[in-house]
Homo-oligomer: A and B are copies of this chain.
């Protein structure tokens, strides 16, 4: 239970004033090269680390950023996306000696409350915002608070509901890193259409999330480019859970003109859907092709292994953290694009059965 050394201790041992120590340790001018080196050495010997509270109090940054995850408890877990993302984020933050405050809450209102509190308590220098939504109140709040932020995923339209056919880009008050959902969807459709599929259903995630809307949009556009209307290609929304994924699968497979291919917005639903098909005696991929958006161990352990859209989720996190650090360093808000996802064909996709009409 040793006492933590302070700059006063260093100053005494190095025979200089406290301010000289502060200058030396913060790479500020005002100390000679020799003195700086000596002070550094003493600090090293003493194992000194700046007291984060004192640093934060004297106007400096707090050296921490925040991340809040707004999800009802029962939908937590399973999905691998999140921990991978955080792991990437940490890699970058740790290198910059920045801590991550993490909080799980039930909904977006609670999330906003957390931002307010963090801001008032001066706990964080900035935040990473996940799961951008349509009509998202968070960017406006963060702008109002002046809390630097990076949204992970491109924000949807801000205040008003989407109405104009031309999507209005959100004002760039906050930075964001975006995934190329359109390009990814094009890849998926290339694959399935190339195999001969014409009736495709996209089992999407939560309709409130911006990327869900974007994927649905992209699917429609890509389908149209290939002459496929909403009677052939469409999306249905779910809450991302295995239960709703299974239910949606059961529903669309029971329709008279059942699809020959299903695209799931996450790995859990894809696995659940594949189990439903197995239960109904529909062989995959002979009668039904399945694509999972986001790869994970899950897609590889099921039988058959699922064709999946692989993205470098940790890399996405790294990019977001870098961008936040850049904003904290005074950089301008901007939109950065992550690497394009790659479709990994496995055993769950094949040409549709021959008798299917086009």
**A116 CB to nearest B CB, Å:** 8
**A269 CB to nearest B CB, Å:** 9
Cβ contact within 8 Å between B298 and A275: no
Q: Mark A271-290, 1 if CB is under 8 A from B, else 0.
A: 11001001100000000000
**A100 CB to nearest B CB, Å:** 6
CA of A63 to CA of B56 in the docked complex: distance in angstroms?
14
Q: Which of A44-52, A211-219, A330-338 contacts B (4 or more CB under 8 A)?
A: A44-52
Cβ contact within 8 Å between A78 and B296: yes
Residues of chain B contacted by A37 (CB below 8 angstroms): none
Q: Which of A81, A100, A103, A301: most chain B Cβ within 10 A?
A: A301
Cβ contact within 8 Å between B297 and A242: yes
Cβ contact within 8 Å between A52 and B121: yes
Is A54 an interface residue when CB atoms closer than 8 A count as contact?
yes
Cβ contact within 8 Å between A301 and B242: yes
Cβ contact within 8 Å between A302 and B49: no
Cβ contact within 8 Å between A51 and B297: no
Cβ contact within 8 Å between A241 and B297: yes
Is A80 an interface residue when CB atoms closer than 8 A count as contact?
yes
Is A53 an interface residue when CB atoms closer than 8 A count as contact?
yes
Residues of chain B contacted by A203 (CB below 8 angstroms): none
Known: A77-B84, A102-B101, A103-B90. A123 touches B302 (CB 8 A): no
- Identify which of B64, B121, B246, B301 contacts A268 (C-beta below 8 A): B301
Residues of chain B contacted by A57 (CB below 8 angstroms): 51, 53-54, 57
CA of A87 to CA of B74 in the docked complex: distance in angstroms?
10
Cβ contact within 8 Å between B301 and A275: yes
Is A12 an interface residue when CB atoms closer than 8 A count as contact?
no
Cβ contact within 8 Å between A51 and B121: yes
Is A171 an interface residue when CB atoms closer than 8 A count as contact?
no
3 smallest beta-carbon distances between A and B, as pairs: A77-B80, A49-B120, A53-B56
